[in-house]
Homo-oligomer: A and B are copies of this chain.
């Protein structure tokens, strides 16, 4: 069976996203850092890895794009997860007895309306939401809760006191699945290709000319993002997701054409388009 590495402890959002992917049966391997997720796949400790790549509130995670560039693992899939926060506590804990609520500072901030409505509850920072759930499971005082997913609550045998206590409705994270070998395109499956490149010269209109290689061939760009290249000053990295893949001759030729205009170029992966 597949074994998929993810960052965090059991119950982390990466693991939930993974287990909800349709038709996927796998075991999961918790890792301390994203770097370790890559290493686990490279060394064969895991067959696949899953990493978050962008969030609807917090944006693209450049750090993970950097890891995709410094390692050679192809993207073979993608998935999305709506992030939901629940108030969870050991069974028997009543809402009235709770004094402190543990979670990641970002999760605490995303539930600020809840805290404003419940002044008696003191937010306490923790490393991550799943870890907060695991940690309150071991507490006996009965006055500590955590903000975590309902999945983490079930995993650590906690009661769910309140669901969806988050302020924002639209907290969605997109994840990428990595493997050692590329995904093999199948007929009839809609595909996406993720590429990264750095224009050869930083001149006016260069991006327009680069997009032309796709637009003039009728290829759809699903995502584009520029970012100052962290390795060299005064150059930019571009992340692009294209509809389709190089088995389509138009895409293959567009990529050949693109290579004439860029100093750095990498196909990060070709995979079924699911989001």
Contacts and interface: CB of A to CB of B under 8 A. Distances in A.
Interface of A: 33, 54-63, 66, 104-105, 108-109, 112, 125-128, 170, 204-205, 207-209, 211-212, 214-216, 218-221, 223-228, 230
Given A105-B127, A214-B208, A59 B59 contact: yes
Of A56, A126, A208, A224, chain B has the most CB atoms within 10 Å of the CB of A208
A223 B224 contact: no
5 contacts: A55-B62, A59-B60, A204-B220, A208-B208, A211-B211
- 3 pairs of A and B residues whose beta carbons are closest in the complex: A208-B215, A205-B215, A59-B59
A225 B223 CA distance: 8
A127 B54 CA distance: 22
Given A224-B207, A224-B226, A128 B112 contact: no
Contact of A225 (B211, B214, B226): B226
Contact of A105 (B60, B105, B221, B227): B105
